[in-house]
Chain A
Amino acid sequence: DSHIQYERVGADVTMKCGSMDWDAAVTWTANGTDIDESHLNGSYLILKNVDLTQSGQYSCYEGSSWHLKYQTYLRVGIPPKEPVLMCRSNNYPKGFYCSWHLPTPTYIPNSFNISVIHGTKEMVCEKDAFPKNRCHIRYVHLFSTVKYKVTLTVTNALGKNSTSLTFDEFAIVKPDPPESVVAKPVPNNPRRLEVSWQNPSSWPDPESFPLKFFLRYRPLILDQWQHVELSDGTSHTITDAYAGKEYIIQVAAKDNDIGTWSDWSVAVHATPWTEEPKHLTTEAQITETTSTSTSSFMPPPTTKICDKGAVVGSGAVAVCWTAGLVLAAYGVLFI
């Protein structure tokens, strides 16, 4: 006779050897290993203050014949704590989903029951195949002021617990983050970055239910984000990037009228266009060839005019390079 027995952590457990008398000679095993007689009271097995490590198969054998008289699978666990429940509509206006989890494991099987009530009407939340702890509901009504009440009850062999959420249709609307975010430098524009993205694929009808977007960007070397809110379109050109600095960029989405902002998209990195430093090779050659020239020649002071430590805009960078080229040209004339 084999069955499962659930006991709470810390409980004292007494196992009888089936229909054997109390004074019968028996041997108990746990997962095939003999249990010491000190745990026996007659033919009863006594386990005090059980813990999780004592889960396993317990068998009782008649003393002389070694006939198996009783077998049970002991599962030590805890009753469920209040579950954590959340509901969200990332595919408005089609419907919403609710997902849940337990804050701490119970170590034994749990079953979940969810009920959704809209006004007086009970709605069916269809369980998803994956992930398991999730179900979805299709909206029957749209634009309703009547709130939804979702109650989740979790039950196991040792107890039950429940939690409820009450919300209105608009409050739980939260799109998924924008997808396919791409950031590219703009040729010949050292302060620009072109960013584009797509609506999340889970948002079913962006034409009737348009999204607005929030872009944030910063150079990797700084902590402060710049923000731009965009009411339409799925692209934006950043025009105030620091030249030559690598940027991190993210985008979030929100329904134009209702609900909350999505999480931030996956971050993308990009560095604005910078001119190839060809003139450095040219200047080095001129410096070598003019090292024996007249003392009136001055080598192009690129590092003196342009302070590398300064954060420069495109205009200032252009002046530095231009000064270097002009002076290099004068140097050539004096060869």
Chain B
Amino acid sequence: MAAADSPSAALRRRDLCSRGIRLAGKMRSDVVDLLETYMERQGLDASASVAAVEGVPVAAVERWDEQTGTQRLLENLAAYRAFRALLAQMLEEQQEQLGEADAALGRALAAVLLQVSAFAYHLEELLRLESRGPPSEEGAGPPPPSHLGLFERKLRGLGVLRELAQWAVRSARDLRQLAKPSPGSSSAPSPAESP
């Protein structure tokens, strides 16, 4: 354990990581259910392929095992802040488009949005423990939807939820890496496994 890592901080980190892992697991399960509901309500097929959508954080990462703990937290936090804005936008659009006709979808979206917000807060807490503090939330929000037609908006929503499902899996893995008793999660990582 690094000198800057007090026992209480290590315990707090482990506790936050465990709770974060459970939260990520629940979030993923709910996002998978939401995806099914969304595709059904929006008349989309599971095989629909969605190209990378502007403004949606992509979960795919190279050399994942070589990331430092701080890199993991920062990337996760940026992603979930973006998802928070994207889901809020989707909720607004869904209410405008379908209104009360589809309250179930609205409720499911709202529930996931709440979990995303909670997870983002969780990540901020972990970053405070790293003595970094979370970065400010300045920056461009999601692209304005006004130029997108209805079908394009549906596809973008599908893209958002699919990436969020991937992120939920990645986040659980990231937090497990963070929870490992390594000599300082912010410093250089332990040597990558030999292929």
Measured CB to CB, the residues of A under 8 A from B are 93-94, 138, 140-146, 170, 204-205, 207-210, 256-258
CB distance from B6 to the nearest CB of A (A): 23
Decide if B60 touches A210 in the complex (CB within 8 Å).
no
Known contacts A140-B62, A257-B25, A257-B28, then 9 further A-B pairs from the complex at CB < 8 Å, ordered by chain A residue:
A93-B65, A94-B193, A94-B195, A141-B62, A142-B60, A144-B60, A146-B60, A208-B177, A257-B172
Q: Which of B58, B163, B176, B180 contacts A210 (CB 8 A)?
A: B176
B78 interface residue per 8 A CB criterion? no
**A143 adjacent to B195 (CB under 8 Å):** no
25 contacts between A and B (CB under 8 A): A93-B65, A138-B195, A141-B61, A142-B61, A143-B59, A143-B61, A143-B64, A143-B166, A143-B169, A143-B170, A144-B60, A144-B166, A145-B58, A145-B59, A145-B162, A145-B163, A204-B193, A208-B173, A208-B177, A208-B180, A209-B173, A210-B176, A257-B25, A257-B172, A258-B169
Instruction: State which residues 155-193 of B face A: CB under 8 Å.
Output: 162-163, 166-167, 169-170, 172-173, 176-177, 180, 193
B60's partner among A143, A205, A256 (CB-CB below 8 A) is A143
Main secondary structure of the interface of A (DSSP, over half): loop
Point out the residue from A141, A142, A207 that lies within 8 Å of B180, measured CB to CB: A207
Of all chain B residues, which has the CB nearest A258?
A: B169
How far does the Cβ of B156 sit from chain A's closest Cβ, in whole Å?
14
Main secondary structure of the interface of B (DSSP, over half): helix
Residues of A with C-beta under 8 A to B60: 141-146
B65 neighbours in A (Cβ, 8 Å): 93
Write the residues of chain B forming the contact surface with A, with a CB cutoff of 8 angstroms.
Answer: 25, 28, 58-62, 64-65, 162-163, 166-167, 169-170, 172-173, 176-177, 180, 193, 195
Q: Determine the chain B residues whose CB is within 8 A of the CB of A93 once the complex forms.
A: 64-65, 173
Knowing A142-B170, A143-B64, A257-B25 touch, does A207 contact B59 (C-beta < 8 A)? no
Query: Once the chains are docked, how many angstroms separate the CA of A208 from the CA of B180?
Result: 8
Q: Which residues of B contact A205 (CB under 8 A)?
A: 193
* Nearest A residue (CB) for B175: A208
Residues of B within 8 A of A256 (CB): 25
Whether the Cβ atoms of A144 and B25 lie closer than 8 Å is: no
CA distance A307 to B60 in the complex (A): 65
Q: Do B64 and A144 touch (CB < 8 A)?
A: no
Given contacts A93-B64, A205-B193, A208-B180, contact A144 B172 (CB under 8 A): no
Q: Known contacts being A207-B180, A210-B176, A257-B28, is A170 close to B169, with CB within 8 Å?
A: yes
Residue from A140, A145, A170, A210 with most neighbouring chain B CB atoms (10 Å): A145
State how many angstroms separate the Cβ of A35 from the closest Cβ of chain B. 57
Q: Give chain A residues whose Cβ lies under 8 Å from the Cβ of B180.
A: 207-208
Chain B residue contacts of A208, Cβ below 8 A: 173, 176-177, 180
Instruction: Enumerate chain A residues within 8 angstroms of B177, measured Cβ to Cβ.
Output: 208
Complex alpha-carbon distance, A210 and B169, angstroms: 12
Q: How far is the CA of A204 from the CA of B58 in the complex (A)?
A: 25
- With A and B bound together, what is the CA distance between A268 and B67 in angstroms? 42
Distance between Cα atoms of A311 and B177 in the complex (Å): 49
Which single residue of chain A is at the shortest CB-CB distance from B195? A138
Q: A144 to B166: give the CA distance in the assembly, Å.
A: 7
Please measure, in the bound complex, the distance between the C-alpha atom of A146 and the C-alpha atom of B58, giving whole angstroms.
10
Chain B residues within an 8 Å CB radius of A170: 169
Q: How far is the CA of A208 from the CA of B190 in the complex (A)?
A: 14
Instruction: Find chain A residues with CB under 8 A from B58 CB.
Output: 145
The CA-CA distance from A146 to B61 in the complex, in Å, is 12
For the complex, what is the distance from the CA of A279 to the CA of B101, rounded to whole Å? 76
Whether A145 contacts B166 by the Cβ 8 Å rule is yes
Most-contacted residue by chain B among A204, A210, A257 (CB, 10 A)? A257
Q: How far is the CA of A145 from the CA of B53 in the complex (A)?
A: 12
Nearest to A257 among chain B residues (CB) is B169
The answer for the CA separation of A205 and B65 in the assembled complex, in Å, is 11
